[in-house]
Structure 1
Amino acid sequence: MDPKKLVITYDGKWVGNLYEGGETEFVKICRNLTYSELSKVVQVVANVGLTRFSIELRTLVDTGVRFRLARPKIKDDSDVEMLLCDGGHVPEVFVQQLTAQFQCGGGSNNVLGSIPTTDNVFQTLIGNPDIFEDPTINEDESSIPEYNSHSKYGLDNFNEDYIGDGGSPEGVNDEATYHHGISSNSTYGGRRGSVPPIFTGLSRDTFEDGGINIGDRSETLVSQPWIIPGASNYSFKLVRTEESSSCNRLSKCGMFKSKKALKLALQEYAQKDNFKIHVTRSCTGRYEVGCKDPELSGRSLKPKEIMTDMQVEHRLSLLYTKALRAKGLAEQNIFGSPDLSYRLLPAYCHKLKCINHGTVTAIKMDVDKKFEYLFIAFSASLVRFQTAIHSAVCIDATHLKGRFSCVMFITACQDANNQVFPLAYGWGDVECEDSWTWFLKELKKAIGCPTNCIIIFDHSLAIKVAMAKEYPEIPHGLCGFHMNMNLKNRFKSHVVWNLFHEASRAHKQTEFLENKRELSRVNMQAYEYLMRVGPHRWSSAYCSVRRYGGMTSNIVECMNNCLRYARQLPITTLVEYVREMMQKWFHERRDAASRNTTQMSRWATEKLTKKNKTSHKYTVYPIDHVNFNVKDGEKDGLVNLFEKTYTCKEFQNDLLHCSHALAAIRHCKKNIWRLLFGFYKTSTWLESYFGLIFPIGHSNEWNTLEEVRAKVVLPPDWRSQACRPRNNRVPSVGEHSRRSRYCTICKKSGYN
């Protein structure tokens, strides 16, 4: 039968219907526990001898009448059954010590003074994996209850005469407390993140009230060393109590009774320390977990977890709605009010421009002074975009998850190390043609119309119309990933998808035409659909400007992933989160570029290293000192090192040398670094992040102008959703789960 959690509170006193003071312990019990067995559990946890003291067990019950609490007494098995039948909450038992009952005289089996106690130092047993194969362990050991060594009480209830078969007595210090030798839960203990011990039915032969009784013998026992069966499989070391915590048992060579116990220990430890874990690998012989987001300070507690914590730590019973409101109030105290956050926008933008000179901000409101749009572009990004960043720009939008379901617009490109370089941000109440038009108009004011620039976006009609209004002179590229998703939704054929992928990434027009003819032969409808869209918008061979290998808008999707935990924040807090993220990125990448030892960026060096290995297989036939004919076994390549033109068109499209050019450079024994394009050099990479982004301080320290403080921005109209708000990302058209399914026997996929 499944165990159940129980909270035991002791060493306190009743004041009216409230139990004040004392300490609280977590234990696990069986659901069919009797009253006598519950008394034994209380005796172990509260360290109370029943022959010396009498105890009274009570619990608190919410009657529902004007918040009145009742404290019924637990006196028999039926009361215990009523206590454990409440499945909605963790039951709690309050222990009160009543009278002292000292027994004196001969024949008593009470042995006072022979019981070891815990005094700041206890013994920790370090398990051996061979413990389960020890022949000294027999079936009689199963009657010994599991024990929590991290608690403050001693081993009052263990059988001192118990010695396993074949076990040799070994002397152990009576001043310390020990685990049982064969328990795989010997490292369990403590209240923080630990698995509580499981108490089952306890026989009379194991222990009796206040003393230790062996069978029917009634004789005074003498103090003797504690004997642990299988002690040869363990080593002993001293660990101080203050140094021992529940997380220490999650250490190297730690042993657990089962995989379920390990999972429960990890979950409770993660919940107590406020972080989230994810399972990387789980099978019958291995269980690997890691922190889901190491940079995240913690996760948001659920209302049910708040209810459990309040009941265990403060003995308060909360309703779900009250826990939910308390959580919302705590988040509002930390992150600010969603309504007041809009009122801070004018002062925040003014302070941001004063601290970071050159930063562009703009706010638009309607006639009722309600928020419509916001645009922010940091000066550190704008200055470097003109000199050190290639002009293939991606734009996209992501939906926020706060109270006001706004939309965030993102503009980004790539640096010399192929990393995301954020350019500008925007916020709007809705995603529509007007919002995109206003955002692109502000973007045009900030960066102008760069030459040889292309703007890449998904197949959104609103963006297409806005681009035609604001950037008609700049080529418009479509995201290859979204185009492929549309093909998957329209045409259920893997051949069509593969042909489109090969055609879109082909550098030479002859290769594009080959895939184009093959596509028309396989599926004419897919061919006509792609021709209507226009090859110049989704192919690299027919694009009028360089796309630098950026065939998708994935860099903006990466930004959405970075903001997945911040999307529910109030708008001013979200803007500050973005500014702090930009400050961190610029600092880390500036340091990485300054520590780079090669003349090219890390990404470019890795790409050239792979291409150089491939070029060793080629044969070079020189024509003159600048022209070379490179044979690769399939298609010959004509290389001109002076004009930097190659017949494979790879350098013309990506400005990164192909394997044919590397073979020619190596043949003529020239320095490869002098012939490379300057965009991928380390100096360019470092120049991209020369700009600094400064914090603006706390809002109480802002010295804003009177006209800025007088500017009022009201929140937009709140549109309540008809269903439960969605927190996960909405998949694109044709996008499905990438989880692979395979047979657990043969480890192969494809038939199940």
Structure 2
Amino acid sequence: MELQSANPDTTVHIEVEPEPNPDSPTRVFKRIYICLDPLKLGFKECGRDILGLDGAFLKGSQQGQVLVAVGLDSNNGLYPLAYAIAEAENKDSWTWFLECLKDDLALQNNSRFTFISDRQKGLIPALEKVFPAAEHRFCLRHIHQNMKLKWRGKGFKDCLWACATARTGWAQSDVLLNNMCEVLNAKTVEGREKPIISCLEFLREYLMKRIVNVMKVQHQCKGPLTPKITEILDEIKKAAAQCTVKWCGDSRWQVQGTLGQYVVNVEQKVCTCRRWEFSGIPCKHAVAVNWDMAAHKQQVGPPEDWVHPCYYLDTWKKAYAYKVGPINGPKLWPISLVPTTLTPPLHHKQAGRPKKKRRRDQVEIEDAMEKKGKLTKKDGTVTCKKCNVKGHNSRSCKGKATEGGSTNDEVAAVGSAGGSAAEE
């Protein structure tokens, strides 16, 4: 009630566990879905029909999952749309989450929307049930990670990327990775260690502060396009200088590039390389045609005019014109007239110390140990910054810092047989 009073038209759905006794005054909490109205309006202003879906574990006393739906703004930055706390990541919870999302976005069953995910448990059948006509992309990084267990090497990786980029999509985005969800999970990891209500408040405050931070960046921007898209187009212009253009007399041009020969249709705004249609940003062949048209006195604007409107700076500012309103503290929250009382979900404490970090698989560990073709210093011999003696670090150093060297006691303690270093 407090959240909806500060942000009218905010969607909040709460579901409870089935109760065999209908006269019971309490209900056990099961899941909650929240879609703040400012984010709902801002996402529609972005004009990019793509959403990343992901789930992350709660790390506090309560077990469960934080489900998120994250879009992209005009600067290729993440734009969180909705979040939920559910009991688990399965078909039932994802179906419920997507049904709520469909109502907020006013989508139909046959909507040509695009989703990208890491192939979470239950998400694939849930998407097929709720959005049977939608495009479902899989994060290429996770596909490659699974593929590396059997097929390794640069040749297989290049084939995979060639297959992933040689296609078109419905959304104005060439996104192949689900990084927007990964970034949001990393930013909210501290909140997932808190109880349920505190976790929800942490998420809301992060979303409120993020809008302000983006606005500060927008005030420093100039030009028709957003900063990130401007950088991308500048790189495309450098590559377009190497292209050769020939006109056939109508709206089509033949362009010879470094990697082949393609046809650009300026009337339909497409190129046979598919990058223009796929991303909404003119490819190098289209930019070369634009320059050729201008050189021959044809009526054409700069290449920036051929960029999709979703990448304009004005579009970016419109998306962040809606602010998440602040709310009062719990002592000032209104009293609900609902006759039942919500109780926390049942919790079974696991043996041992709770794990905070995500478990990495063997492929991730190997990739982390290798950087730019060279092995990292992980698991190698360290050198103490206090005494310059190998075998321990400054935190476990028991001697005193010396100028340009170490004391004889420290050298004897560490360098005698290596046993003392192991003990330390």
Pairwise CA distance, 1:648: 1.0
Mapped to 2, the partners of 1:748 and 1:571 lie a distance apart of 43
Report whether the alignment pairs 1:723 with 2:352.
yes
Whole-Å separation in 2 of the counterparts to 1:654 and 1:637: 17
The alignment yields a C-alpha RMSD, in angstroms, of: 2.3
Report deviation, 1:494: 4.4
Question: How far is 1:740 from its partner?
Answer: 4.3
In structure 2, the CA distance between the partners of 1:401 and 1:737, relative to structure 1 (3 Å rule), is: farther
Q: What is the CA-CA distance between 1:628 and the residue it aligns to?
A: 2.1
Higher relative contact order at CA 8 Å, sep ≥6: structure 1 or structure 2? 2
Of 198, 206, 219, 1:581 maps to: 206
Counterpart residue number, 2:5: 354
Instruction: State the shift of 1:552 in Å.
Output: 1.9
**Aligned mates of 1:741, 1:650 — CA distance in 2:** 32
Q: For residues 488 and 633 of structure 1, what CA distance do their matches in structure 2 show?
A: 30
Structure 1 residues 380 and 683, CA gap change in structure 2 (3 angstroms): same
Give the whole-Å Cα distance in 2 for the aligned partners of 1:556 and 1:404: 22
- The list of structure 1 runs, each at least 4 consecutive aligned residues, that deviate by more than 6 angstroms after superposition, is none
Q: What's the counterpart of residue 402 of structure 1?
A: 60
Distance in 1 (alpha carbons) for counterparts of 2:174 and 2:347: 42
Question: Matched residue pairs, number?
Answer: 361
1:491 to 143, 146, 151: 151
Using the alignment, how far apart are the partners of 2:13 and 2:90 within structure 1?
18
1:88-110 Cα offsets, whole Å, 9 max, x none, are xxxxxxxxxxxxxxxxxxxxxxx
2:324 is paired with a residue whose SS is coil
Matched, 1:460 2:128: no
Distance 1:679 1:402, change over 3 A: same
Q: Aligned partners of 1:737 and 1:717: how far apart in 2?
A: 38
Q: Which residue pairs with 1:666 in the alignment?
A: 291
1:81-135 CA distance string (max 9 Å, x none): xxxxxxxxxxxxxxxxxxxxxxxxxxxxxxxxxxxxxxxxxxxxxxxxxxxxxxx
Greater alpha carbon shift after TM alignment, 492-501 vs 409-418: 492-501
CA distance in 2, matches of 1:549, 1:732: 27
CA separation of 1:737 and 1:403: change in aligned 2, threshold 3 A: farther
Distance 1:504 1:439 in 2: 28
* Paired position in structure 2 for 1:423: 81
What is the CA-CA distance between 1:351 and the residue it aligns to?
0.9
Tell me if 1:691 matches 2:351: no
In structure 1, what is the Cα distance between the partners aligned to 2:311 and 2:45?
13
Q: Give the fraction of aligned pairs with identical amino acids, expressed as a percent.
A: 23
Which residue identity is paired with 2:59?
K
Closer/same/farther in 2, CA of residues 580 and 647 from structure 1, 3 Å limit:
same
TM-score norm. by structure 2 comes to: 0.80
In the other structure, the counterpart of 1:438 is 96
Within 5 Å, which residues of 2 pair with 1:240-279? none
Measured at CA, do residues 593 and 624 of structure 1 come closer, stay the same or move farther in structure 2, by a change above 3 Å? farther
Query: Quick one: distance in 1 between partners of 2:96 and 2:139?
Result: 22
Match of 2:71 in 1: 413
Q: Write out aligned runs for 1:583-602 (5 A).
A: 583-602=208-227
Residue 443 of structure 1 aligns to a residue whose secondary structure is helix
Aligned mates of 2:120, 2:333 — CA distance in 1: 40
Change (3 A) 1:449 1:688: same
* Matched ranges for 1:559-638 at <5 A: 559-624=184-249, 626-638=251-263
- Report the CA distance shift for 1:748/1:603 in structure 2 as closer, same or farther (over 3 A): closer
Letter of the 2:249 counterpart = D
Instruction: Name the aligned partner's letter for residue 301 of structure 2.
Output: N
* Structure 1 length-normalised TM: 0.46
Q: Tell me the residue number matched to 2:365.
A: 736
Question: Could you report, residue by residue, the CA deviation over 1:47-102 in whole angstroms, capped at 9, with x for unpaired residues?
Answer: xxxxxxxxxxxxxxxxxxxxxxxxxxxxxxxxxxxxxxxxxxxxxxxxxxxxxxxx
Check conservation: 1:408, 1:427, Cα contact below 8 A.
yes
2:281: which partner in 1?
656
Change (3 A) 1:378 1:648: same
Q: Is structure 2 residue 267 aligned with structure 1 residue 642?
A: yes
2:122 counterpart SS class: helix
Q: For residues 736 and 406 of structure 1, what CA distance do their matches in structure 2 show?
A: 26
Contact 1:485 1:732 in 2 (8 A): no
Residues 90, 121 of structure 2: 8 Å contact kept: no
Partner of 1:677 in structure 2? 308
Matches within 5 A, 1:302-341: none
Query: Corresponding residue for 1:702?
Result: 333
